[in-house]
Amino acid sequence: MPHSPITLGISFKMYFGYAQTLTWCRNVAASLTQHPAVLDGRVSLFVLPSFPAIAPVLDIFADSPVGVGGQNLYQSAYGAYTGEVSGAMLAEMGCSHVEIGHAERLRLFGEDATTVAAKVQVALEHQLTPVLCIGETEHGTPAAAIADCRAQIDNALSRATPTQRQQPIVIAYEPHWAIGASEPASLEHIASVCQGLREHMDSHPAASIIYGGSAGPGLLTRLAGQADGLFLGRFAHDPAAYESVINEASMLATPR
């Protein structure tokens, strides 16, 4: 069985408009009363909308256990950084999570390991749970992927204090070589890497290892507890599809 809780996150990236975001969130919020495992914390949910929609999404989920966060933050606490958003503002609004280090940020916006480490430190300083995205660039063995990803985690936490290292963190694994590829990573590869990362994070009891590539119904079950959850993409843009994954997680989280 996966470690409790099972974590299910979704980032809308820049796919949704403002009204579409709020409609999706209202539909999901209305269905949560059907999921005791969500309400009692055995299944943990977080949603990362575009920045302009964060405030109303926080209102929609105010009476639920769903976490809301940003898809990015700036690596300094405040200052003359036009167009950027600070961790302090996200925390002040009531956000609980923030996404850091996604492959698209690295590839399209030139972020590097130093930037990722700075952002993780800022997030932890403001009690935001980093959703740290990691993944190997080259397709190789699970052992090579584990070594690469462990180094990425260690670098990302290199500026964190010992106390901050005990704060919650979500490690979202997705091999970069599988993004947009005709064939996703194999189940054996995913399970091996997630297990290797979980072992690496044994000294971080509040860490969760989730998988973010081609995540859909049945994957949690097929992973047989090797991952602590999923970071969902376009599949979950349909609230009914998202609910189907929540149902699966609820079944896995329910004691037999």
Is 189 one of the annotated active-site residues of the chain? no
The rounded distance, in Å, linking the Cα atoms of 120 and 128 is 9
| Count of C-beta atoms within a 10 Å radius of residue 234 | 13
Torsion over CA of 122, 125, 126 and 127, rounded to 10 degrees? 120
| Count of C-beta atoms within a 10 Å radius of residue 19 | 9
What would you measure as the largest C-alpha separation in the chain, in angstroms? Answer: 55
Active-site residue, selected from the candidate residues 35, 97, 99, 102: 102
Q: What angle do CA 167, 173, 96 make, to 5 degrees?
A: 35
Q: Which residues contact 118 (CB under 8 A, 6 or more apart)?
A: 75, 76, 159
Active-site residue, selected from the candidate residues 99, 111, 136, 174: 174
Distances (CA, A) of 217 to 41, 202, 235: 20, 28, 9
Q: Which residues contact 69 (CB under 8 A, 6 or more apart)?
A: 46, 47, 48, 54, 90, 95, 96, 97, 98, 99, 128, 129, 131
Is 102 one of the annotated active-site residues of the chain? yes
**Residues carrying an active site annotation:** 102, 174
